[in-house]
Amino acid sequence: MTEVPTYGMLINGESRETGEWLEIRNPQDDSLAARVARGSTAEIDEAVTAAKRAFNSGVWSKRSPVERSRVMADIAEKMAERIEDLVHVEMIANGATVRQATGFHVGIAIQHFSYFAELAGTYEFETALPPQTYPTLGQNIIRREPIGVCGAISPWNFPLVLTLWKIGPAIAAGNSIVVKPDEKTPLSLLEFGRIAEECGLPPGVLNIVPGEGVDAGARLVSHPDVGKVAFTGSTEIGREIMRSASDTVKRVTLELGGKSPSIVLDDADLQLAVDGVLFGCMFYSGQICESGTRVLVPDSLYDEFVERLVRRAKTIKLGPTDDWETDLGPIISAKQHQRVLDLIARGEDEGAKIVLGGGVPEGDEFRCGFWVEPTILTEVTNDMKVAREEIFGPVLCVLRYQDEDEAVEIANDSIYGLAATIWSSDNARALELAEELQAGTVWINDHHQVNPAAPFGGYKQSGIGRELGANCLDEYTETKTIYLDLSGDLESRPYDLLLSHDEE
| pLDDT 10s digits, 396-454 | 999 999 999 999 999 999 999 999 999 999 999 999 999 999 999 999 999 999 999 99
pLDDT of residue 489: 85
pLDDT of residue 499: 87
The pLDDT tens digits of the residues spanning 305-343 come to 999 999 999 999 999 999 999 999 999 999 999 999 999
Average pLDDT over residues 85-96: 97
Q: How confident is the model at residue 148 (pLDDT cuts 50, 70, 90)?
A: very high
Q: Are residues 114 and 204 in the same domain?
A: yes
The pLDDT tens digits of the residues spanning 490-499 come to 888 888 888 8
The pLDDT tens digits of the residues spanning 127-137 come to 999 999 999 99
CATH number of the domain encompassing residue 327:
3.40.309.10
Q: Are residues 343 and 203 in the same domain?
A: no
Residue 35 pLDDT greater than 70, yes or no: yes
Which residue range(s) make up the domain with 170? 6-256+462-482
Residues contacting 108, CB < 8 A, separation 6+: 161, 450
Q: Are residues 241 and 274 in the same domain?
A: no
Q: Are residues 243 and 277 in the same domain?
A: no
The percent of residues in the chain predicted with pLDDT above 70, rounded, is 99
Q: 124 lies in a domain?
A: yes
Q: 267 lies in a domain?
A: yes
Q: 265 lies in a domain?
A: yes
Handedness of CA 360, 362, 367, 370 (dihedral sign): negative
The pLDDT tens digits of the residues spanning 463-494 come to 999 999 999 999 999 999 999 999 988 888 88
Catalytic residues: 255
Q: 452 lies in a domain?
A: no
* Boundary-marking domain end, from 396, 415, 444: 444
Q: 498 lies in a domain?
A: no
Q: Are residues 215 and 308 in the same domain?
A: no
pLDDT of residue 195: 98
Helix (H) or strand (E) holding 234: none
Handedness of CA 433, 438, 443, 445 (dihedral sign): negative
Q: Are residues 27 and 93 in the same domain?
A: yes
Q: Are residues 115 and 178 in the same domain?
A: yes
Residues contacting 240, CB < 8 A, separation 6+: none
Average pLDDT over residues 298-305: 98
Q: Are residues 364 and 407 in the same domain?
A: yes
Q: 453 lies in a domain?
A: no
Give the Cα separation of 46 and 420 in Å (integer): 42
Number of alpha helices (DSSP H) and beta strands (DSSP E) in the chain: 15, 23
Residues contacting 409, CB < 8 A, separation 6+: none
Q: Are residues 14 and 140 in the same domain?
A: yes
Residue 19 pLDDT greater than 90, yes or no: yes
Q: 504 lies in a domain?
A: no
Average pLDDT over residues 36-65: 98
Q: Are residues 28 and 106 in the same domain?
A: yes
Q: 492 lies in a domain?
A: no
Residues contacting 369, CB < 8 A, separation 6+: 26, 27, 28, 29, 30, 95, 330
Q: How confident is the model at residue 296 (pLDDT cuts 50, 70, 90)?
A: very high
Helix (H) or strand (E) holding 134: none
The pLDDT tens digits of the residues spanning 255-292 come to 999 999 999 999 999 999 999 999 999 999 999 999 99
The average confidence (pLDDT) of the chain is: 96
Residue 215 pLDDT greater than 60, yes or no: yes
CATH number of the domain encompassing residue 77:
3.40.605.10
pLDDT of residue 492: 84
Residue 38 pLDDT greater than 90, yes or no: yes
Query: pTM for this structure?
Result: 0.96
Residue 362 pLDDT greater than 90, yes or no: yes
Q: How confident is the model at residue 504 (pLDDT cuts 50, 70, 90)?
A: low
Q: Are residues 248 and 266 in the same domain?
A: no
Q: How confident is the model at residue 123 (pLDDT cuts 50, 70, 90)?
A: very high
Q: Are residues 208 and 78 in the same domain?
A: yes
Q: How far apart are the first and last CA of the chain?
A: 95
pLDDT of residue 1: 53
Alpha carbon separation from 341 to 18, 80, 292, 344, 348 (Å, rounded): 37, 37, 19, 5, 11
Domain count of the fold of the chain: 2
CA dihedral 258, 263, 269, 270 (to 10 degrees): 80
Residue 503 pLDDT greater than 80, yes or no: no
